[in-house]
Structures are given as structure tokens and as C-alpha cells.
Amino acid sequence: MDSPVLELKNISKRLKGKDILKNVNLSVSPSEIFGFLGPNGAGKTTTIRIIAGLIKPTTGSVTICGHSLEREFSNALSKVGCIIEGPDLYKYFTGMENLEQFAAMKNVDKKRIYEVLEMVGLQHRANDKVGTYSLGMRQRMGIAQALLSKPKLLILDEPTNGLDPAGIADFRQLVRKLAYEEGMSVFVSSHILAEIQMMCDTVSIVKQGEVIRTVKVEEILSDNVIEWQFADVGKATELLKSKWGFQVNQTKKNTIRASIGKITIEEINHMFMNEGLIISYCTAIGSSLEDLFLDLTEGDKIV
């Protein structure tokens, strides 16, 4: 396995007597899209601020591309592009002038500015003042800014806030392209499950400052959940339990759900019919990330 692009070891942060983060460990591989999922106030943005060097952790270390953030600040951050909590650009500058500011700081030439503008589809509005931009456009401009220096690691904090559906789809495509074609690692935080599920390879779920689970999205998705409707759910439940040993949840009066793993849905439905059960309705529930998330963060209160 390649050495990780980003590694967090035992990161804790205490702020005003409150433990915001407790012993967070993370590792992001090259060209991986890593989702950071958690309810509001779980510590997502704090973690990202620590990675970006805006906050110093109370304990623990951050390593980016093998450079310690603490000891080699410039080297570590030169490989990173990020947007943190809202694209707050200079409103009195045009989009172009904003990018020129950051380009000067990162030693990037004019050609690259045009490239990133095209990537985010803002080449026609680049000479308007950012003050006149919509939130979605500022978000795009923020992404353009993050891409300027062709970073190895892209950090995006709630990046689709304010984007319209088309914008979100474009954005997802852009992130995939960056990761799989240009080999960028992407660290995305979000509280929107569908977004993480559609975009990410790996997801870490945080709750009250702790990473409670890190999973491959693929694995969850192969965790095939099926929903049936029967007139007689009792018998169907019995059969699923006795024949395959599935765990069955009754979600509504006539509805049950079960995770069927590698067994095919045809096989199961065939069995039901042989047993003389009439299936009123049957569907595959795409994922269980939502279930997993709600399970794991159940009863969570924003602290």
C-alpha cells in the first residue's frame, strides 16, 4: 500500500474546557476520496481546521505527504488546497483578482488560473466582483482557489452548500476526475449522506469528537438490503430467519427489511413463492449507509 497522503495521529483538541476532539486517527491514501460524515457539531470543521493549520491540536500530530505540519508547515501545506466553512473571498475584488492573490502566494502562473476557471465553469464571470456572485458561484470560486497549485490533497468542508442540483452533479464529476485521473486525494466533510455515498470511497463517521467507524463505502453498498411487502409478514419473517439466518426488521405493518448479503433476490423470492406466500411488493434499498449512520449516531446531541 502507498504511504498515506494525510495521516492524523491521536489528535485531541480542548477548547475552553471542552473536549472538541478526542483521539482522532485518520489516514487518507493517494487518489482516495475520503468522506468525513457526522452530525452538526461533531467536530468535522475543527478536524479540518487542524489539518489546514488554522488551529493547533492539544495533542497529536498531522502528517501531509510525509511532512509534519508542526515542523515543516510550509512544505506540508504547499501540497494542500482547501475550502473551509464557506467560500469567504474578497468581495471587493473580482473573481480573477481573488485568484491572482492566491496565485501570487503559491507561485502559480496566469495559465493555471484560466485552467481552474474553466474546470469550475466560471470563465465568463471571472471579471465580475465577487460581491455580485451567488453562494454557489462563490463555492465554485473557492474550489478554483483550492485547485490552483495542483495539490496532492484537496480538503473540502461542506463543499456543496449552496450549489444547485446541476452544480452538485458537476462537482461530483469534477471530484471523481481529480481523484481518479489526476491522482489527487480528496477529503470531503459533509452531513449529507447521499452525497458522501455517491462520491466517496471511504467514509469515517464522527460523533461528539470521536471517530466511531471507518468503512469502505463499497462494503456497505454490497450489504444488500431488500424490502418486501406481504399480507402475512409473520410467516415470511420466520422463513427468512430459519432458512438463511437473516436479521429481519419489520419497518411498517406489512413491510419487512433484511440484509441478504451475497444471496440473490431471485433465489429468495423463488423460495417465498414455493412456500405459497404472495409478494405484494419487493425492492432493493440501495444502501444502508443511512441506517449505519443513524444507528451509530443515534441519540446524539449537539454539544
Partner 1 sequence: MYKLVKNEFYKMVGKKRLYITLTVLFVMIAAFAYGQYDSLNRTKAQLAQRLGVTVITDWKSVVGQQILDNKARVDSPYQDEDRRVQARVRMEQSQFNLDNNINTVDLTAANFTTKIISQSMSLFLPLLMILLAADLVSGEMGGGTIKFLLVQGIPRWKILLSKYIALLGLEAVVLFFAFVFSILISGLLFGYGGWWEPVATGFKIVGGKLDTSNVAFVAQWEYILMAFGLAYYVSVVVGTISLMISVLVRSSIASLGIILSLLVGGSQLTSYMVSWNLPRYLFTCNLNLMSYISGSLQSIPGMDMAFSVAVLAVWTIAAIIVSFVYFNKQDILV
Which residues make up the interface to partner 1 (CB under 8 A)?
A: 15, 49, 52-56, 73-78, 80, 82, 84-86, 88-93, 97, 101-102, 104-106, 145
Q: Which residues pair with 59 in a beta bridge?
A: 12
What is the rounded distance in angstroms from the CA atom of residue 47 to the CA atom of residue 55? 9
Per the CB < 8 A criterion, the answer to whether 4 and 50 are in contact is no
What is the rounded distance in angstroms from the CA atom of residue 208 to the CA atom of residue 298? 12
Q: What are phi and psi of 118, to 5 degrees?
A: -70, -40
Torsion sign (Cα): 271, 275, 281, 286: negative
Amino acid at 49: R
Q: Which residues pair with 35 in a beta bridge?
A: 188, 203
| Least spacing, CB of residue 130 vs partner 1, in Å | 10
Q: How many CA atoms lie within 13 A of 80 on its CB side?
A: 28
* Complex with partner 1: residue 22 or 106, whichever CB lies closer: 106
Question: 270 is written with which cell numbers?
Answer: 423463488
Amino acid at 201: D
* Complex with partner 1: residue 56 or 177, whichever CB lies closer: 56
* Complex with partner 1: residue 93 or 114, whichever CB lies closer: 93
What is the rounded distance in angstroms from the CA atom of residue 259 to the CA atom of residue 266? 14
* Complex with partner 1: residue 35 or 81, whichever CB lies closer: 81
Q: What is the DSSP letter of 152?
A: S
What is the rounded distance in angstroms from the CA atom of residue 152 to the CA atom of residue 220? 27
* Complex with partner 1: residue 80 or 239, whichever CB lies closer: 80
Q: What are phi and psi of 265, to 5 degrees?
A: -70, -30
Rg (CA), the chain: 23
What is the rounded distance in angstroms from the CA atom of residue 249 to the CA atom of residue 252? 9
Per the CB < 8 A criterion, the answer to whether 205 and 38 are in contact is yes
| Least spacing, CB of residue 83 vs partner 1, in Å | 8
* Complex with partner 1: residue 98 or 197, whichever CB lies closer: 98
| Least spacing, CB of residue 28 vs partner 1, in Å | 17
* Complex with partner 1: residue 31 or 145, whichever CB lies closer: 145
DSSP string, 164-186: -HHHHHHHHHHHHHHHHHH--EE
* Complex with partner 1: residue 53 or 121, whichever CB lies closer: 53
| Least spacing, CB of residue 227 vs partner 1, in Å | 44
* Complex with partner 1: residue 67 or 172, whichever CB lies closer: 67
Place of cell 461533531: 42
